[in-house]
Amino acid sequence: MRPLRQTLQAIPYPGRIVAWARTLDGAMCGGYVLTGRTQASKARALRLAGHELVVGPTDPAPDDPLRHYVAATRRDGWLVFGNGEQVATVADRLRAGRPPVVALDGLDYEPDPPIFTPRVTVVVNVDSPGDAWFGAARRSSGDRTSTDLLTLSVRELAPGDAVLMTTYVSDGRHVVTGEPFLEAVTEAADQHAFLDELWEALDPRYRVAAASFTPHDLAGAALRHQEP
């Protein structure tokens, strides 16, 4: 597997990124990354609001559910994070007693033609953070409009292991749906170094914001934002 930095540097515009890793200190750590090409996409920030991490505008702007949403939430022993309103939906299903695979079912990709951005989501059992489930709702690369659903169960990550999904694989001009998932090696010693690693690997032209957090302390998330 390639180092995480090299993996992300090979994707100048990854869209949104969800990542789950075991850092070298043995702790489990999540990462969420925003990148953008347009002014509206760049005019966003990650903010902590109680037990949630929220993506919102930096300037007064109309609500846009494709750009402004709860990106991470901690509820009833579950950590859920992802790139849209499905985060709240999945969290509600988990609270209702549904298992992760069922909670991640029935989602759809974003209605943003011609890109049709995938919905990517991670579910973590806080009491057993070695177990995580990735879900992706993607449009077919063919002519089908039905949603392809991918669920990936990730277990027993060793220190240095990282798994991630990106919404795109793009050079910033031509946007293509990302690979189903990527595996990489992180050199991060802890949560804060993991954020540094993610942030520094991003192309400065497109990076917007990023966060890293542990399953037991979402309120202690480390945040980074691109200066205007």
Question: Model confidence over 175-187: pLDDT tens digits?
Answer: 999 999 999 999 9
CA distance 119 to 121: 7
Q: Is the pLDDT of residue 120 over 90?
A: yes
- Least confident range from 139-153, 157-171, 176-190: namely 139-153
Question: What is the per-residue pLDDT across 64-76, written as a single tens digit (0 to 9) for each?
Answer: 888 899 999 998 8
> Which pLDDT does position 227 carry in this prediction?
83
**CATH classification at residue 217:** 3.60.20.20
Query: Do 46 and 53 meet the contact criterion of CB atoms below 8 Å apart?
Result: yes
* CA angle, residues 95, 125, 163, in degrees to nearest 5: 125
Question: Where in the sequence is the domain holding 109, given as residue range(s)?
Answer: 4-225
Q: Is the pLDDT of residue 130 over 90?
A: no
Written as one letter, the residue type at 69 is Y
> Which pLDDT does position 205 carry in this prediction?
96
Confidence grade of residue 51 (pLDDT, cut at 50, 70, 90): confident
Q: Is the pLDDT of residue 63 over 80?
A: no
> Which pLDDT does position 49 carry in this prediction?
92
CA distance 151 to 79: 16
Domain count, the chain: 1
**Three-class DSSP category at 131:** coil
